[in-house]
């Protein structure tokens, strides 16, 4: 999906980032981001915010039943874990200009001032 000007803001978190939940029922737990929904400003984290979904009978589950799966969390409840220190950190977006004059935006850890890939 193409980002429209000011309708979908740039996000500090990306898919496959390791994050920690800072508020809510799963506070203090950490996991890897499976999916991000920028329009809703939510993310699905592996193994966190588990909900029970009732499933009708189908080819996979002939009797139907209840399935536990991850639900989306708001991005304001998540904090990126710095890969070097393994502690949660805030993220700053900085613009970097290369030798050819092209500017790119990079994520930088506020605590360690290191670029996060």
42-69 pLDDT per residue, tens: 999 999 999 999 999 988 778 888 999 9
Give the pLDDT mean for 4-23. 86
Token pair belonging to 103: 């500017």
Distance CA 105, CA 41 (A): 19
CB-neighbour burial class of residue 27 (10 A; exposed 0-12, middle 13-18, buried 19+)? exposed
Domains of the chain: 18-82 (2.30.30.30)
Residue 2: predicted pLDDT: 67
Q: Which residues of 65-78 are buried (b: 16+ CB within 10 A; e: fewer)?
A: eeeeebebbebebb
Q: Give pLDDT tens digits for 63-111.
A: 888 999 999 999 999 999 998 999 999 999 999 898 899 998 899 999 9
- Average pLDDT over all residues of the chain: 90
Considering the chain, what percentage of its residues have pLDDT values greater than 90?
Answer: 68
Prediction pTM value: 0.80
């Amino acid at each position: 999906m193409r980002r429209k000007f000011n309708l979908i803001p740039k996000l500090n978190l990306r898919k496959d980032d390791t994050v920690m939940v800072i508020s809510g029922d799963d506070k203090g737990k950490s996991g890897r981001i499976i999916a991000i929904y920028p329009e809703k400003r939510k993310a699905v984290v592996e193994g966190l915010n588990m909900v029970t979904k009732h499933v009708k009978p189908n080819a996979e589950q002939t009797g139907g039943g209840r399935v536990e799966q991850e639900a989306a969390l708001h991005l304001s409840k998540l904090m990126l874990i710095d890969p070097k220190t393994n502690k949660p950190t805030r993220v700053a977006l900085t613009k970097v200009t290369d030798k050819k004059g092209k500017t790119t935006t990079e994520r930088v850890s506020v605590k360690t001032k290191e670029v996060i890939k």
